Amino acid sequence: MSTRQSRRGAVTLTGQSRQPLYKDVKLAITRMLSSGEMQAGEAIPTEKQLCEIFGTSIGTIRRAIDELVAEHVLIRQQGRGTFLAPYSPDRMLNIFFNIVSKDGRREVPIVQTLSFQNDFSDAETAKELAIRDGDEIYKIHNIMLMGGEPAVLDEIRISSILFPGLTETEFVSRDMTIYDLYQNRFGINVIRTSDRLRSIPADVSTAKRLNIPLGMPLLEILRVAVTFEDRPVEWRRTLLNTENFEYRNLLKSDGL
């Protein structure tokens, strides 16, 4: 069979691409998922159905799905099907929350929102969020209690365009993690984050809020969270008191 053509009225893939067929399929599936029509936790078509949709063999479909599973975008379950990763609170905590107690236990943090503002992006934030300077954003300040003590302060900046109609009430009254809110309310899946860590002294207001001495060393974490195709979703600055907690970076060199 010659190199690349759609068969039997199947979906036309990117066509004249110079990349392998399974990459085309992967991209097509990714677009299906990120179109916003799919709910988190929902099943995607079966492998056999995808064969017919794309007009490829099951091996090619599996290869495409393999990569999305490796990226935690999809979850496969034998006998059940393949699902858009649910990002359950528990899962979110395990994947994107790497602040743990010094003895290694994962405390579930209690988040309290200190302020929720409508604001305009400065140049630097615009660059991080891939929006225009001056675009509307939400600025949200939170404090997190871990083990009963205030241990973390953070500031979140997100584009109002990506999260239209988000209100303080809705944000505060959510019964899930913030990333789950992005997913369930706006159909935005956070699939990766990039953290930059520094050590800085506590300033006056931070010291007061975390009930620690002025100038005490804190861990500053600057995070950008991205969704499919590396589109930035959220900028976040976290300040952690590492007296009783620490940041863990388990495993390097992917895979297992």
Interface residue with DNA, options 12, 39, 48, 122 (CB under 7 A): 48
Q: Should residue 63 be labelled a site residue for DNA when binding is judged by CB under 7 A? A: yes
Interface residue with DNA, options 12, 20, 39, 230 (CB under 7 A): 20
Provide the 10 A C-beta neighbour count for residue 113.
15
The span from the CA of 188 to the CA of 69, in Å, is: 18
Interface residue with DNA, options 8, 9, 36, 80 (CB under 7 A): 80
Rule CB under 7 A: which of 215-234 touch DNA? none
Q: Should residue 102 be labelled a site residue for DNA when binding is judged by CB under 7 A? A: no
Pick the closest to residue 156 from 225, 94, 248, 97 (CA basis).
225
Q: Should residue 82 be labelled a site residue for DNA when binding is judged by CB under 7 A? A: yes
Q: Is the Cα torsion angle 182, 188, 189, 193 positive or negative in sign?
A: negative
Q: Should residue 15 be labelled a site residue for DNA when binding is judged by CB under 7 A? A: no
- Residue pair 216/255 in contact (Cβ under 8 Å)? The answer is no
Q: Give the interface with a copy of itself as residue ranges (CB under 8 A).
A: 67, 70-72, 95-96, 191-201, 215-219, 240, 242, 246-256
Contacts of 223 (CB under 8 A, 6+ apart): 193, 194, 195, 196, 234, 235, 236, 237, 238
In the list DNA, a copy of itself, none, the entry touching 58 (Cβ below 5 to 8 angstroms by class) is: DNA
- Interacting residue ranges for DNA, rule: CB under 7 A: 1-3, 20-23, 46-48, 55-60, 62-63, 76-82
